[in-house]
Structure 1
Amino acid sequence: MAIYFTNHQNKYKLKNKRKISNWIKEVSSNYEKEIGHITIIFSNDAYILEINKQYLNHNYFTDIITFDYSHERKIEGDIFISLDTVLENSKIYDVSFNNELLRVIIHGILHLLGFKDKEELDKTIMRENENKCLELFSTKYE
């Protein structure tokens, strides 16, 4: 199927869409899953807060919200990313905006692959998998 990148309320133009799509497909394959229909929506803090309140009853900003529609061997879903928070976090963690954005994108994909991050152990496992996926990107797709 396909991976779609779109914008909501901003004019961000993602570079290397093809490389990022191929990376996501390889990551999915490495976890023995196929890609279904995935939409990655770039937005701002206000829109993410609206979604967080409306669908999750959370009244706070976040960098990513993932709606998982996956089934059996195929991952599908909508991934909303706040570019405002990605930029803020890139400064906090002293990494480039692009590196932080890749981490957030793959974080959403890992959620679609079944990884959780509510408990401390799950957060550690999620971070280890993010790092592994980012290493793959830097060695093969940059």
Structure 2
Amino acid sequence: MIYIEDEQVVIKTDKELEILIEKLVEYTLKEEGVTKEFELSILFVDNERIKDINREERGKDIETDVLSFPMLHYPKGKVFKEVYLNYDFLPEDLYEGRLILGDIVLSLEKAEEQRGEFDHSFKREVCYLIIHSVLHLLGYDHMEEEEKALMRKREEEILQKFNIIRE
């Protein structure tokens, strides 16, 4: 189950974008080996709100584009399919039978700014940031060059599958 909530008023969203996001998330999770019923939330905010959350949660008093809050633990360098692919989750690990993957907070205002910087569509920027965050929920990271290359490769593969390309 994917929950999408829009708490900002700066950028107008539409149902078409939400449907695309749901399809991207479901596809990414399936490709990464999530076979259980799942739950994750996506919250759209503005720059001011994401700055507040970034300061509260990470001690960084700056705006950012997206924040990911995974609920599963991953050993360094491991991703969902390497740790949990055939994992037998206990009932207490689940919420109403669903695996809680985590939360994503995305500043649509920042996505609009970055769309211009990267010279592509708002839709592409939002989709990229959603995939990026979902991969973070699944253990991917980009702190080390090798991990970064793997994460970027997965992001681009998924975007290409949906024909979301740089224009």
Letter in 2 for 1:126: M
8 Å Cα contact 1:75-1:112 kept in structure 2? no
> Percent sequence identity over matched residues?
30
Question: Post-superposition shift, 1:29?
Answer: 1.1
Query: What's the Cα RMSD here?
Result: 1.9
TM-score of the aligned structures, taking structure 2 as reference length: 0.75
Equivalent positions of 1:30-49 (< 5 A) are 30-34=31-35, 36-49=38-51
Letter in 1 for 2:26: K
- Asked if 1:9 corresponds to 2:8, the answer is yes
Question: Post-superposition shift, 1:75?
Answer: 5.8
Aligned to 1:54: 56
- Asked if 1:131 corresponds to 2:156, the answer is yes
Cα 1:23–1:106 change in 2 (3 A) is same
Q: Distance in 1 between matches of 2:123 and 2:15?
A: 9
Letter in 1 for 2:13: K
8 Å Cα contact 1:64-1:81 kept in structure 2? yes
Question: Post-superposition shift, 1:18?
Answer: 3.0
Q: Distance in 1 between matches of 2:154 and 2:2?
A: 20
Q: Distance in 1 between matches of 2:122 and 2:47?
A: 16
SS at match of 1:76: strand
Letter in 1 for 2:63: F
- Asked if 1:111 corresponds to 2:133, the answer is no
> Whose relative contact order is higher, 1 or 2, with alpha carbons under 8 Å and at least 6 apart?
2
Q: Distance in 2 between matches of 1:12 and 1:26?
A: 25
Following TM superposition, where does structure 1 have runs of at least 4 consecutive aligned residues deviating by more than 6 angstroms? none
1:6-58 Cα offsets, whole Å, 9 max, x none, are 01232632432334313311211111114521111000110001000101111
1:103-136 Cα offsets, whole Å, 9 max, x none, are 0011111111110012233222221111011011
TM-score of the aligned structures, taking structure 1 as reference length: 0.87
> Computing the radius of gyration over CA atoms, which structure comes out larger, 1 or 2?
2
Q: Structure 2: where are the runs of 5+ without partners? A: 74-83, 86-98
8 Å Cα contact 2:111-2:125 kept in structure 1? yes
Letter in 2 for 1:107: H
8 Å Cα contact 2:44-2:108 kept in structure 1? yes
Q: Distance in 1 between matches of 2:12 and 2:158?
A: 23
Question: Post-superposition shift, 1:60?
Answer: 1.4
- Number of residue pairs the alignment of both structures matches: 138
Question: Post-superposition shift, 1:67?
Answer: 0.6
8 Å Cα contact 2:42-2:104 kept in structure 1? yes
Cα 1:44–1:57 change in 2 (3 A) is same
